[in-house]
A and B are shown apart, each in its own frame.
Chain A
Amino acid sequence: MKGQGLRLYAILYLVFLYAPIALLPIFAFNDATIISFPLRGFTTEWFAALADLPTLHLALKNSLIIAVSSSVLATSLGIFAARASTRYEFPGKGGLMGLIMLPLVLPEVIVAMSLLMVLLGIGVNLAIWTVILGHTLICTPFAIAILSAAFQSLDKSLEEAAYDLGESKLSTFRLITLPLVMPGIISSLLISFTISLDEFIIAFFLAGSEPTLPVYIYSQLRFPKQIPAIMALGTILVALSVLLLTIAEYFRRRGLKKTGAKDTGGFL
């Protein structure tokens, strides 16, 4: 009996979670401007229509610039933080790491609002780079979490062995540390990229006149005739996100296998 209830709960949960996403491709290929059943027929017209939307192209370009920059920044910061937290002991380390990880659970609207107030307060013009700043802030904790796991599974004596064999601290990092945590770095880049790409609140608050993809999508929802095209766009984004996360997980697992470490769970 107990098992039955649990199973029903799980099924309802999954339906609730995935049904809306499943609707995206269904209507993206439906030959009608109105989002309703019954379906009218198959078309790729809406995907073709995406090519004629210059604002969309601008938003896409902005989003890509922001996502690439903030994932690279967050991952670089993550490497330093993860390295420091796994190799060195210093007073107040626990508290400091806690503070760095806080944005992970802080409501994004608060992060966005306070950033906006500070930026406006010091007289900065809102632009793409202010969004990059905000996204770096929220991506860094994810990067640290992923990279800490990668650094932790690295045997300290590997670095000592390279140093013992005559390499410098720097070349040891390049020849041993970096290749061995590379799967973690790639996984951090991909996950940060995905987070940034579909982030809405910070982009909405800090982008000024530059739209990003989610902001653009939101603005288009007011026009009913654009909705099938948005569905097509959404379909592409879902496919892309799934692909990126799969690649990220693949690299995380391959990294574990290579260094012979035990899987202690990851994000997926």
Chain B
Amino acid sequence: MNNVPQAAAPAPIASRPTMIEFRDVHKYYGDYHALRGINATIKAGEFFSLLGPSGCGKTTLLRTIAGFEDISSGAVLIDGKHMVDVPANVRPTNMVFQSYAIFPHLTVEQNVGFGLRREGGTPAEKARRVEEALEMVGLKGFGKRAAHALSGGQRQRVALARALILKPKVLLLDEPLSALDKKMREQMQVELIRLQRQVGITFILVTHDQEEALVMSDRIAVMFEGQIAQLADPETLYRRPNSRQVANFIGVMNFLPAKVLTEAAGRIAIDVQGLGQTEIDATQAPGAVTGGEISVGFRPETLTMLYEGQTTTERETPGTIEEVVYYGDMTYYDVRLDGVDSPVRISMRNVFGRPVLDIGTRTRVAWSAGALVLFR
């Protein structure tokens, strides 16, 4: 979301018209319940991600939009129309496959122009559209190449151009970057965001990479075992995960056992092991009450280790450093707070003049109640 030039500020997500709607979608493969009641709406022009561990049903859900999987019950609507009995070849969606599915016996331009076979227009006009599509993905002049002679990144671009040339209302991408190396992947992430802003259509991305989802998406649906656990924008997902499972899947989260003391007028008084009594806002308990054990979570970067003699306006708790992992720009410390059973992880930026501390050092940790999330 960051380092990409912002075009005209797009309308806020909530106010845009709905493009895709899932209504209680269930899917069985034989006895296996792959999708367990999916309810969600995806807005027009949104960059939407389906994020979850392998096997949770992301691809299956994506394929119900494309029309490659029939659903067992419920409804899928695209642009307000029921998609039951609408076959994949007439749906207003196009797909970029995980394997890219580049036709190996055709040239790059034949691949990209494949969808135009059924469209009207003169050959010259079609050739121009192919050229435009190739230019859009940065493959100008590659038209005559044989498809099987392309690198992974180039195949990816051909697949994108081929899917976008038909101007679909929705572009579906199934783990499009998973086959690329780290550098290429980061470059393509930026390019995909740029491309989505440029064409302005809905992109739905399947990924198991939480960082990729956070970087690219307007909103993310986190899926576990055929269900959507949380659907929110990246910042909300990161700062206010609604369950320990979501919190653990996205980034690192520390947990400490806690008790709820009182709850009134949008404020919750809690007693957290090691941190003591404090008060949080009701919005810091975004999850449903499950009746299970109660705990408080906080991200490693919301804690600060204080210098000797440094004071803070926030709360502070003493502890002992048990583990130090040095990452160059960052150092990760595992600190056992006094009165706590297991250590918490703290990440500190390695700013100039600040030494990396040793294992066994006594330290003071500053924290603020606003960074806590309550799970109960």
Chain A interface (Cβ < 8 Å from any Cβ of B): 155, 157-158, 160-168, 176, 179-180, 258-260
Are A161 and B103 in contact, with the CB atoms below 8 A? yes
- Scan residues 77-95 of chain B and give those whose CB is less than 8 A from a CB of chain A: 88-90, 93-95
Nearest residue, chain B, Cβ from A166: B118
Tier of interface size on chain B: 20 to 34
Are A162 and B114 in contact, with the CB atoms below 8 A? yes
Are A167 and B117 in contact, with the CB atoms below 8 A? yes
Are B105 and A165 in contact, with the CB atoms below 8 A? no
> Cα distance A163–B118 when bound, in Å?
12
- From A164, A167, A260, B118 is in contact (CB under 8 Å) with A167
Chain B interface (Cβ < 8 Å from any Cβ of A): 66, 68, 88-90, 93-95, 97-99, 101, 103-105, 114-115, 117-118, 148, 162-163, 166
Are B148 and A260 in contact, with the CB atoms below 8 A? yes
Are B99 and A164 in contact, with the CB atoms below 8 A? no
> Cα distance A193–B185 when bound, in Å?
50
Are A168 and B68 in contact, with the CB atoms below 8 A? no
CB within 8 Å: A-B pair count: 59
- From A160, A167, A168, B101 is in contact (CB under 8 Å) with A160
Across the A-B interface, the 5 shortest Cβ-Cβ residue pairs: A165-B115, A161-B101, A157-B101, A157-B97, A166-B118
Nearest CB of chain A from residue B318's CB, rounded to whole Å: 57
| B90 neighbours in A (Cβ, 8 Å) | 166
Nearest residue, chain B, Cβ from A182: B105
| B88 neighbours in A (Cβ, 8 Å) | 160, 163-164
Are A168 and B89 in contact, with the CB atoms below 8 A? yes
> Cα distance A259–B99 when bound, in Å?
13
Are B148 and A258 in contact, with the CB atoms below 8 A? yes
| B118 neighbours in A (Cβ, 8 Å) | 166-167
| A160 neighbours in B (Cβ, 8 Å) | 68, 88, 95, 97, 101
Are B104 and A260 in contact, with the CB atoms below 8 A? yes
Given A157-B97, A258-B148, A260-B148, is A163 in contact with B89 using a C-beta cutoff of 8 Å?
A: yes
> Cα distance A260–B104 when bound, in Å?
8
| B94 neighbours in A (Cβ, 8 Å) | 164-165
| A167 neighbours in B (Cβ, 8 Å) | 89, 117-118
Nearest CB of chain A from residue B328's CB, rounded to whole Å: 39
Are B66 and A165 in contact, with the CB atoms below 8 A? no
| B99 neighbours in A (Cβ, 8 Å) | 155, 157
Q: What would be 13 A-B contacts, judged by CB atoms less than 8 Å apart?
A: A157-B97, A160-B97, A160-B101, A161-B162, A162-B114, A164-B66, A164-B88, A165-B89, A165-B162, A165-B163, A167-B118, A168-B89, A259-B148
- From B89, B98, B103, B148, A164 is in contact (CB under 8 Å) with B89
> Cα distance A158–B147 when bound, in Å?
13
Are A162 and B103 in contact, with the CB atoms below 8 A? yes
